[in-house]
Amino acid sequence: MLLVPAALSQAEYADVVINTRAEAEDVSPVIFPHWFHRIRFQCSVCHVDLGIRMKAGTTGISMDKIINGEYCGACHNGDIAWSPENCDLCHSGQAGLETGIKGGHKTAGPGIY
């Protein structure tokens, strides 16, 4: 349609790309979808109780800590959610993505999201 700008490949709002170490260590970057998690958990569960900081790339999450039950690993342990052996389910991003939250702080125009 003429009214829709072309090539608007928008990530789902509030998806977080975490690529602080992943690609450097030869795995795909992580995509964390806020929408799926906020249907199930309030903000404070991750951002207060688990200590995940509200800025992508600053928490210092690593596979060691996840396997140890910290951060994502508090739920992704095979009990509450899938275990960390399922690499592809989190490491699902395209190569070259920059760490950051998508759709954030970029007012590209009213209704663009």
Partner 1 sequence: MKRRSAAALTVGAILVAVSSLGAETWKPLSDDGLHDASNPSLEILQEPAEALVVLQPDTAGNKVNWVTALQSREINPRSSLSGDIDPEILDLDIVMTGTLPLPNVIFPHRPHTEWMGCETCHEELFVSVTGANPINMGQILQGKYCGLCHGAVSFPLTECNRCHSVRRENIIMAPASGAIREREQ
Asked if 31 interacts with partner 1 (CB under 8 A), we say: yes
- Asked if 97 and 22 count as a contact pair (C-beta separation under 8 A), the reply is no
Q: How many other C-beta atoms are found inside a 10 Å radius of the C-beta of residue 27?
A: 16
At closest approach, how far in Å is the CB of 64 from partner 1?
Answer: 21
Asked if 17 interacts with partner 1 (CB under 8 A), we say: yes
Q: Which residue(s) pair with 15 in the sheet? A: 33
Asked if 51 interacts with partner 1 (CB under 8 A), we say: no
Residues in the chain: 113
Give the contact letters, 65-104, x = binds to partner 1 (CB under 8 A), - = no.
---------xx----x-----x-xx--xxxx-x---xxxx
